[in-house]
Every structure is written in C-alpha cells, then in structure tokens.
Chain A
Amino acid sequence: MATRNGTRASRQAFGILGRLHRFAFLFLVMGATALMILSRTDNVIVDRVSVIVIDVFAPIMNILSRPAATVKEGVETARELVRLRQENIRLSRENERLLSWQESARQLAAQNEVLQSLLAYEPPPGARHVTARVVGDSGGVFVKSVLVNAGTSSGISKGQAAVTGSGLVGRVTQAGHRSARILLIIDINSRVPVLIESSRERAILTGDNSRHPKLSFLPGNAAIHQGDRIVTSGHGGVFPPGLSVGRVAIDESGTFRVEPFAGLDQLEYVRLVDYPRVETLPGPGKTRRASTVPAVP
C-alpha cells in the first residue's frame, strides 16, 4: 500500500516536474528573446554583463589562440620561402620607388614646417597608440568583430579607432578591463565618415557584412573613380582625420564600394588610436562668451 502511494506521489511529482520542464523551455526562449530586445535598445546592464563575461574569458582565449597563431605563422613562413626570389625582386623595385617618395616627403615636410610657422598654425593634438593582439574572432556569420587582449587598463575606451599598418580596421564598441571588442568596418552596423582623398568629397562608409563596404551619401556629382584613395574625414570627432581606409572599387551594379587596405580576414595585431576628441559643438555657455556682438547697453 505504502509503495503504491509512493509511486503515485512520485508519478504526480514527475508530472509536475515535466510540466515545469516544459515551462522552463518556454521561459528560456522568452528570456533569450527579452535579452535580444534589451541589447537592441542598448541596455546598460546587458552591455556591462557581456563586458564582464568577455573580460573573464579573454585571458583563456589569449592562451588558446597562441597555438593557432603559431600554426598560421608556420604556414606563412613556408609560403614565403616558396616565393622568396619573386618577393625580393618586387621589394627592391618598391624600395627604389619609395626612396624617391621619401625624398619628396622630406622636401614637403621642410616646406610644410616653414609654411606652418608663417601661418602660426596650431597642429591638432597628437594621438597615442596601444597595440593589442586579436584573441577572438566572431567566426562570424552575421557579425564582423574581433576581440583584443587590451582594455581600459591600457587606456582603451569605447569609440577609439583600430588600425593596422595598412589601414583602418574598425572601432572599439565594448571595452572591458583587459579586453575589448572591435567592430570591423565591414560589419552591417559600421558607419565611418570618410573623404575621397583627391577630391576631398565627403561620404559615409557603410558596412553591409560583405568584404567591400559601400560608400553612401556621396554628392550626386561626386568626382570619384575606381582606385581613388579613401581616408577618414575626422568628422564627428571620433576618428582622427586622414587614416587610410581603402580604395574605391565599383561593383557590377555600379555601386561605389571600398576595398579596405587592412586584411580584415587575417588580423593578428591591431593598433588602437587614442585620439583626444575635439568638441565639435561648443556648449551654449561658450557660444555666448565667444560671441563678438557687443551687448546692448
């Protein structure tokens, strides 16, 4: 009798547990949806928790990513050995070309200095650089971002530009204590104010998850050609002006796109540019003080 009661009780308990289980699924899926909605609205708590999680796992990822990097270096060394001769010829040619550029750069620098002193020109504040190693890749299907092993403790903060030796990579979107996430310029959420270097026309570099981001908001009659260099404009005060971004490439549909200089598929190290932000809009108090109109007595 007692055992029969026991089995009935346990069966009931299982029934309730089963139902709770089903609710648990529902609850979890609803929780996931709620989290997505919260993060979409840039919820501070969601952001802070993710930063903490990334901070905790970044050191482990740092260690795990080393063997992969070593393997990659090995593969690259083998490849380089194969093309050594060709590469050498190419480099010595390039060196010749660069030496003549160096000469003209020196002349221009000297000239620039003289002209600046004539105009009493105040140069923009210099930028500080922090180099960080890429420890995590989004492996991303719909997200193009990387994690690096440096954070606020090394002076990194949200909004800073990330570059390689060849060009702009992206900007910091999350900064933890010792890790940070960089949103690449090809990500669908990336917008960078840029200039066409030769014509000085402005545009916005708009990522769309493809390898070549689009140039939007170009003036209708913009003088733009395949191969034109694109640099950051510095508008908005987030990025320093003049960072190389890429070259204009026109796709089959006639859309202006940019082929980034930086190899975004194979990032190993990036430099984060700590650029003292320029206040583009002075506060109302300042405007009044700066006003040249004399007060009416």
Chain B
Amino acid sequence: MSPTLSQQLDALARNLIPAALGIVLVLLSTIPYSLPAFGPVAPNLVLMAVFYWAVFRSDTLSPITVFLIGLLQDILTGAPPGLNAAILVLVRIFAVSQNRVFRGKSFMVLWFGFVIVGLSSAFAAWLISAVYHMALLDPSPALFQAAMTVALFPFLVWLFSWTHQKLMPQG
C-alpha cells in the first residue's frame, strides 16, 4: 500500500526536524546572553546536534544541509564564511563512519566520541582562524568553549533523543 499524500508530507516534516533544529540552535547560540556566569564564550550547540543526528539518523541530515547550517553559523557569528561549514561536514563524515561504534552502546561511549569531536574541532577552528587572520591567536577561548560544549553534551543529547523518539518514531 503506497502512503497517502498527507502521510508523505508528515514523513517529510518529521525528516526535516534535525535540519530545523540545527537552524534554531544556530540562532540560539548567537543570542547575547551576557550573563556574567556564562562568559563571553557560548557553547557550540550546533556541533552537538550535527554529531548526534549524524550518528543516529544521518539520512535526515545530508552533507549539504550540514554545510548550509555551518555557513549560516559563520555568517551570523561573523566567523570566516566556510569555517564552521567545513568543520561540521568533517564531523559528519567522522560520525557516520563510526556510527556502529556509538550506536547501541552506553552513553559514555558516545560522550567519549564527542570529546574527540569537540577537541579536534576546537583545534581545527583555531588553526583555520590563525591562518585566516595571519596571526598567532590565543587558543584558550576555543579550549574553554570545547570544555563547555562537552560538559553540556548530556543535556542536549537528552533533548535530541526525546525529539528523536517522540517525533521521529520510524527511525
């Protein structure tokens, strides 16, 4: 039995959730919180989302989508356009190629994988920015951001897996 139009639209909408969530997280991470406890450096919410969906539902987050989300992040934050786009595409490659390692294992394995992703993308961002600005930049803000991102990962994963189970039951 072929699905009706409304079922197809429904499935399409559900498959667009990761991309939409990615855009929302880009926007959320550009909000000026300026709470003293938060500091000027905000956690990289988009990185967590791309990693999660690439591991569990890479079919719903194509490389082009990841690229565009990264580009949006670059443009809105004023980073060199292409920096986060490239990093997120590379993170997707890593997550998809290693998804057997992470799927169905304990959360600690996933978290450990994300520590690697967080640290390597911080290093990549630092390296690319240094070349872009032709200056030796202080890497500590990137490390601080990576630490904060890794620390907040469990909360975001909880949110993503809730979305995943409630709104995207077929995957």
Contact = CB atoms under 8 A, between A and B. Distances in A.
Interface of A: 21, 24-25, 28-29, 31-36, 39-40, 46, 50, 53-54, 57, 60-61, 64-65, 68-69, 71-72, 75, 134-143, 145-147, 181, 183, 188-189, 208-210, 265-268
Given A142-B141, A189-B133, 17 more contacts: A29-B89, A32-B70, A32-B85, A33-B82, A46-B81, A53-B72, A57-B27, A57-B76, A64-B27, A65-B31, A68-B31, A72-B34, A138-B77, A140-B40, A141-B129, A142-B133, A209-B138
A260 B89 CA distance: 38
Interface of A (DSSP majority class): helix
B132 A36 contact: yes
Nearest to B138: A209
Contacts of A135: 32
A267 B75 CA distance: 20
Interface string B16-53: 00000000000111111111100011100000000000
Contacts of A57: 27, 72, 76
B35 A32 contact: no
B82 A142 contact: no
Given A25-B63, A25-B93, A265-B40, A31 B75 contact: no
B39 to A, nearest CB: 8
Given A29-B90, A61-B31, A181-B78, A40 B85 contact: no
Contacts, number: 146
Q: How large is the interface on B (under 10, 10 to 19, 20 to 34, 35 or more residues)?
A: 35 or more
25 contacts: A24-B63, A24-B64, A25-B93, A31-B82, A32-B86, A46-B81, A54-B76, A61-B76, A64-B28, A72-B33, A72-B34, A136-B30, A136-B31, A138-B79, A139-B29, A140-B79, A141-B129, A142-B129, A146-B32, A188-B137, A189-B133, A265-B40, A266-B34, A267-B32, A268-B32
B67 interface: yes
Interface of B: 27-36, 40-42, 63-64, 67, 70-72, 75-83, 85-86, 89-90, 93, 125-126, 128-129, 132-133, 135, 137-138, 141-142, 145
A142 B41 contact: no
Given A188-B137, A210-B138, A32 B82 contact: yes
Contacts of B85: 28, 31-32, 35
B96 to A, nearest CB: 10
A141 B89 contact: no
A17 B31 CA distance: 39
Contacts of B28: 64
B133 A267 contact: no
Contacts of B30: 61, 136-139, 147
A59 B34 CA distance: 20
Given A28-B63, A138-B77, A209-B138, A39 B82 contact: yes
